[in-house]
Amino acid sequence: MATEVVLGTMEGTQLLPWVVGAITLLLTVVTVCSLPSLMNYWWWWRVMKPIPGISPCYPFVGNALLLEREGEGYFEQFEAYRKIIPVQISAPMVGDWTSDKPFPLPCHLCSTGDKWRSRRKMITPTFHFAILNDFLEVMNEQGFILLEKLEKHVDKEPFNIFTDITLCALDIICGELRKLSICHTGLKRVIAEKVAELENTKLTKYNTDMNGEEKSGSKKREAFLDMLLNATDDEGKKLSYKDIREEVDTFMFEGHDTTAAAMNWVLYLLGCNPEAQKKVHQELDDVFGNTEQPVTVDDLKKLRYLECVVKEALRLFPSVPMFARSLREDCSIEGYTLPKGTNVLVLIYVLHRDPEIFPEPEEFRPERFFPENSKGRHPYAYVPFSAGPRNCIGQRFAQMEEKTLLALILRRFWVDCSQKPEELGLSGELILRPNKGIWVQLKRRPKTITE
* Whole-number Å distance between alpha carbons of 400 and 424: 26
Least Cα distance to 132 among 398, 409, 389, 388 occurs for: 398
Residues ≥6 apart with Cβ < 8 Å to 81: 54
* Whole-number Å distance between alpha carbons of 286 and 11: 99
C-alpha dihedral sign at 31, 33, 34, 39: positive
392 is in an annotated binding site: yes
Report how far apart the first and last C-alpha atoms of the chain are (Å, whole number).
106
Task: State the pairing for strand pair 413-416/331-333.
Answer: unpaired
* Whole-number Å distance between alpha carbons of 273 and 275: 6
- Residue 231, φ and ψ in degrees, nearest 5: -65, 140
* Whole-number Å distance between alpha carbons of 42 and 225: 49
Least Cα distance to 78 among 434, 342, 350 occurs for: 350
- Binding region: 392
- Binding region for heme: 392
